[in-house]
Amino acid sequence: MNGNAASGFARKMLPLSIETRTRPYERIGAVSPRKKHQPQWWASLASDPRALKIAVALALVVAFAFALAAAVDASSDANHSRVVVFDAGSTGNRVHVFKFSSDVDGVTLVSETFAAKSPGFRDLASKGAKVAADSLDALIDVARDEVPAKMRSRTKLTLRATAGIRLLPEGAEAAEAIMRAARKKLMGTGFDVEDRRVSVMSGEDEGKYAWTSVNYLLGRVGVGKSFENGGGGAEDGTSTVAVLDLGGGSAQIAFAVSDAAKASAPPGKGYVQSVGDGGRRDDVYVKSFAGYGLMAARAKVLATGGDDEDSGGNGTHPCVPAGYVGGCEENCYGLAPGESYVARARAAGADFRACLAAAIKSLALDATCEDAPCGIAGAWTTPRTTKLHAMSYVYERAVQSRAAKTYDAATTTKTDALTVTPKDFEDAGEAVCATAAADVATRYPDADPEHAAYLCLDVAFIRALLVDGLGVGVNEAVTIVDQIEYDGKGVEAAWALGDAVATLGEGADPDAIFGSKGRRRR
């Protein structure tokens, strides 16, 4: 580490559920009308030469201290880079200000400042593009507070809108208008903003950045390839890991592949992407499955394998716990405008094996296959040879359903990496599906009350996705992560950091990003 770098990662999360509020200034020591007989402090000093000398000396010391602090700050800034990432999500907007230090070993994440504000673009779209773009103002202020004015013109800024804006009820034109208004606003902030850095992010980019983020935090991005044993190299701690990010609307899988696997990929379809810079690139299989996020998949599963399948799955269903009737009628997260679903329990309640069969069928593994071998919904696939890390809803449901057997609410921390197998999800699913809807919240207190009735379906879908969709062995250990420990602090394993790392490396010497040895500090 460079001597000017901070000695440990720090994350500052600002409490922004931001409400516009004016804080009144306190009147500290209100000045009363001056009276002639009151002595003035400067008159006292003038009458006491010794006191005057002391005051002047103190003033010089304070001035020197400020000058020294400014010089140290300037020296420190010379070895630091910042990237501002705006995440325009479905439920709100967020800003991340990442600060990196640079030395011969590459770049090291020093700190992250994070703030969030609701509502987001999706909820404000009906009020017009300008109103939606103006919702960024408070978050822009956060970025300005964190980045010194003299550094802003060379601090890169990105804004990525995710799936929520792609499915606006107001349509594609409204989404494009919001993005134009946001781009115009950000161009006037003084940061380094380019048109292409303010964009609606594709699912593949989301998967690529999630892969970069996890492998960066583990210290594995940029490690020299060693493909004798397949993509990712030998099992000596230097290989990259595969990353599954299961969101609400889509699922992304990404993993390093061999040169042979890259050569066999269908040309021009973007299945294998080159991640990195210059001579330090990894060929990564990246696929986003739109409509196969956990929330969106509910509609697919409930439309399959129900007792009244001819009516679109709106009859009773083996994934629904006894006594439950529900569903989603409009504005369903992860679904296109106008799509909905109904969930009704059978008299006998849920059945895990029948639910699993419906979940497997929902993956459309028998869809038309243009480029063999094919997997989910007819997409080309290639064997994964690196260990799998899973996050987001895989982690949440593993904990909530008790599939993660080593999880202990009293002792497990957010940075503890847990392991779970598909067989663990099967065992947990059998127990969850045998539980009546009225008892789920009591028996599974970690489950989100709003989604407790779907815990059986969710667990069955994750098991189907892992084994039947992605080829994970039934007894294969999968590492599930919420945060990853980095320099003694927990860092969220999310795509925003991967975007920052990729943006920081645009046009840079690869050694400046990945280090002369090709790895970052753990």
Report the catalytic residues. 206
Residue 88 assigned to a binding site: no
Contacts of 231 by beta carbon, 8 Å cutoff, 6+ apart: 255, 256, 257, 258, 261, 283, 285, 384, 385, 386
Residue 47 assigned to a binding site: no
Tokens encoding 517: 């040895």
Neighbour-count burial of 205, counting CB atoms closer than 10 A to its CB (0-12 exposed, 13-18 middle, 19+ buried): buried
Looking at residue 88, what DSSP letter applies?
A: E
Three-class secondary structure of residue 110 per DSSP: strand
Helix (H) or strand (E) holding 388: strand 388-392
Tokens encoding 44: 């006292």
Residue type, 290: A
Residue 249 assigned to a binding site: yes
Torsion, Cα 376 380 385 388, to 10 degrees, reads -40
Tokens encoding 397: 């449901």
Radius of gyration of the chain measured on its C-alpha atoms = 27
Number of neighbouring beta carbons within 10 Å of residue 134: 15
Whether the CB-CB separation of 164 and 90 falls below 8 Å is answered with yes
Contacts of 399 by beta carbon, 8 Å cutoff, 6+ apart: 407, 418, 446
Residue 248 assigned to a binding site: yes
How far is the C-alpha of 510 from the C-alpha of 106, rounded, in Å? 9
- Cα angle vertex 348, ends 344, 352, to 5°? 80
Helix (H) or strand (E) holding 187: helix 172-187
Number of neighbouring beta carbons within 10 Å of residue 98: 25
- Cα angle vertex 97, ends 69, 6, to 5°? 45
Residue type, 395: Y
Residue 32 assigned to a binding site: no
Residues in the chain: 522
Annotated binding-site positions for ATP: 248-252
Annotated binding-site positions: 248-252
